[in-house]
Amino acid sequence: MKIAGIELKNPTILASGIMGTTGAALARMSRNGAGAVVTKSIGPVPKKGHNNPSMVELECGYINAMGLPNPSYSGFCEEIGIAKSKTDAPLIASIFGGNAAEFTEVAKGLLSSKPDCFELNVSCPHAEGYGASVGTDPDLVHEITAAVVDAVDVPVWVKLTPNVTDITSIGRAAESAGASAVVAINTVRGMAIDIHSGYPILGNRFGGLSGPAIKPVAVKCVYDLYEVLDVPVIGVGGITCWEDAIEMMLAGASAVEIGSAVHEDTQIFEKISKGIDTYLQKYGYSKAEDIAGLSHEMI
């Protein structure tokens, strides 16, 4: 299936972050059934991230404040090369920066490793000066997206933050700047406090909530974006089973990314892909694209 300029083996994609830090891990997720894989977000300079604890499990998912740790684009090209040599699944490079010039620098720096697509992380909620610091401003999102689109010869996706009043304004900005697709959503700002000590649990104090708790938020964002955009929407947030994936697709997602659920089951891509196929056969659809946005026709 071809979506937003790349050929996917199936509608499930490894989300940026989990299992995307090395070429070997990316290749492993592809072998486990992911239709495409997204790298950990890569920036212009090496970054160690926030102090531990940087991730904790809650009753409703996970909250993390990794702080975008990465070796920089010059230190990550080799990992992309390793992944590309071990799998035929499309590889999507997630990148971040503080402004259009930094995003463009990273994208150009990674081009030699031949990623199939770039995903612009303008939505991380816990890295000061990056991510959502720029992704809440439609003008900045337009400027960054346009700069990267002009600098590369592969599709550019933009990952959106839910921590805004109107996500559709950010989606429109990305689309008008030439994005091939938008990805919705990144994590929701959150916090956890130890009631015995009174201290915030995370080293950064606050972070981003992921997992089942944010799925209804993601579904609503995907639904709203599908109504106003012409480019495909990739749904992500709280998907743990094939039923969740179907719900996201009915809301308007052309494909889905899976992140937190990989903690529990690294075989989840194959399971969800098979579940989607069974659903399509049961209801008489020939391909996944047939159900994208179907819930909009039910009104």
β-bridge mates for residue 13, sequence order: 36, 257
Each residue of 81-102: pLDDT tens digit?
A: 999 999 889 999 999 999 999 9
The boundaries of the domain holding residue 164 are: 2-297
Q: Is 186 annotated as a binding residue?
A: yes
Mean pLDDT for the stretch of residues 169-185:
98
Q: Is 85 exposed, middle or buried (0-12, 13-18, 19+ CB in 10 A)?
A: exposed
CA 20 – CA 262 distance, rounded (Å): 11
Tokens of 80: 């992309």
The CATH number that applies at residue 91 is 3.20.20.70
Secondary structure (3-state) at 35? coil
Residue 195 CB partners (closer than 8 Å, separation 6+): none
Q: Which residue has the tokens 């809650």?
A: 58
Q: For 239-260, what is each residue's pLDDT tens digit?
A: 999 999 999 999 999 999 999 9
Q: Is 65 marked as binding a ligand? A: yes
Look at residue 174 in the predicted model and tell me its pLDDT: 98
Q: Which residues are catalytic?
A: 124
- Cα-Cα-Cα-Cα dihedral of 121, 126, 127, 133, to 10°? 70
* pLDDT tens-digit readout, 123-170: 876 566 665 678 899 999 999 999 999 999 999 999 999 999 999 999
Check: pTM over 0.85? Answer yes or no.
yes
Q: Once rounded to an integer, what is the mean pLDDT over residues 93-120?
A: 96
Q: Is 191 annotated as a binding residue?
A: no
Tell me whether residue 249 is annotated as binding: no
The answer to the question of whether 185 is labelled as a binding residue is yes
Find residue 285's DSSP bridge partners.
none
**Chain segment 29-71, per-residue pLDDT in tens:** 999 999 999 999 999 999 888 889 999 999 999 998 988 989 9
Residue in the block written with tokens 């259009």: 100
What's the total number of domains in the chain?
1
Exposed / middle / buried, residue 281 (Cβ in 10 Å: 0-12, 13-18, 19+)? exposed
Q: For residue 229, is pLDDT > 60?
A: yes
What pLDDT is stored for residue 150 in this prediction? 98
Cβ-based neighbour number of residue 198 at 10 Å: 7
Q: Supply the pLDDT for residue 226.
A: 98
Percent pLDDT > 90 in the chain is 86
Given this model, what pLDDT does residue 49 score?
86
Non-local (6+) Cβ contacts of 74 within 8 A are 109
